[in-house]
């Protein structure tokens, strides 16, 4: 069964600090991996999407990495801001499965002043 596991489940950091969120997956055959940010009461919003051949992708202060061999991804947030407080969801899709996605449970990040 395709699965996506994220860690930690929740994280509290001080404003201005960096943090790294982890994602492990067992989706096969792998097609792409996406990171989404979900603010409370809102739908998920895409941050990055990476295919098999991409090791890293940045979007402003967000940098995602992908190791397709170990089936791991990370999302690094630099110089955190209060507005970064949200849930971050790792989503993996399988090749040949159309648009079928497997969602991780998310990491809830709280940035405190």
Partner 1 sequence: NAGVTQTPKFQVLKTGQSMTLQCAQDMNHEYMSWYRQDPGMGLRLIHYSVGAGITDQGEVPNGYNVSRSTTEDFPLRLLSAAPSQTSVYFCASSRAAGSRDYGYTFGSGTRLTVV
Q: Looking at the DSSP assignment, which residues form a beta bridge with residue 90? A: 35
Indicate the length of the chain as a whole number.
Answer: 113
Q: How far is the CB of 2 from partner 1 (least distance, A)?
A: 10
Q: How far is the CB of 98 from partner 1 (least distance, A)?
A: 5
Q: Which of 80, 113, 110, 90 is nearest to 21 (CA)?
A: 90
Q: Which is nearer to partner 1, 90 or 111 (CB)?
A: 90
Q: Which is nearer to partner 1, 84 or 104 (CB)?
A: 104
Q: Which is nearer to partner 1, 24 or 102 (CB)?
A: 102
Positions in the binding site for partner 1 (CB under 8 A): 4, 31, 34, 41-46, 49, 89, 93, 98-106
């Amino acid at each position: 069964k395709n699965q996506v596991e994220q860690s930690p489940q929740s994280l509290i950091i001080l404003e201005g600090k960096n943090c790294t969120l982890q994602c492990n997956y067992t989706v096969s055959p792998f097609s792409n991996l996406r990171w989404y940010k979900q603010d409370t009461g809102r739908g998920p919003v895409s941050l990055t999407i990476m295919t098999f051949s991409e090791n890293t992708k940045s979007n402003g202060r967000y940098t995602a990495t992908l190791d397709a061999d170990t089936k791991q991804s990370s999302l690094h947030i630099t110089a955190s801001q209060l507005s970064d407080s949200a849930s971050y969801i790792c989503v993996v899709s399988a090749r040949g499965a159309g648009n079928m996605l497997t969602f991780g449970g998310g990491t809830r990040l709280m940035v405190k002043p």
